[in-house]
Amino acid sequence: MAKKFGVPCVPHNGAFGLTELTSHLSNIDYICVSGQKSMLEHADSYSENLKFPSKVQNAHYVTPLEPGYSIGYTESALEKYSYPQGEFWASELGQKIMNAPSEGEL
């Protein structure tokens, strides 16, 4: 849609696995829509938790050669962040999140 109306678009993809999804959308855009390499946000925080972290070379995402959508979390990340028994939830930040007021209490 951005291409149709001549509006530059840089997708926001956040982190913790979203970067890997957006890199595939960039390939689809290049092959099927614009024929140009897209400008994308790159956030690699928490990439150590991913089975297939995205790779950047010469300021562009490297197209994965393995089949699939390149997503998935490591076993250690699944153990750490599993709610409520994962070790993250015992941390100070995890406790703040767990004890935050619910929407009805605001």
- pLDDT tens digit sequence for 27-69: 888 898 888 877 778 877 788 898 888 888 887 888 888 888 8
Residue 90 reports pLDDT greater than 80: yes
| C-alpha span between 97 and 2 (Å, rounded) | 37
**DSSP bridge pairs for 60:** 57
Tokens 């829509």 correspond to what residue? 33
- Per-residue pLDDT at 15: 67
Q: Give the start-to-end residue ranges of the domains of the chain.
A: 18-73
Average pLDDT over residues 81-95: 96
Please give the angle made by the CA atoms of 48, 49 and 52, to the nearest 5 degrees: 80
Question: What's the CA dihedral at 57, 77, 20, 63 to 10 degrees?
Answer: 50
| pLDDT confidence bin for 19, thresholds 50/70/90 | confident
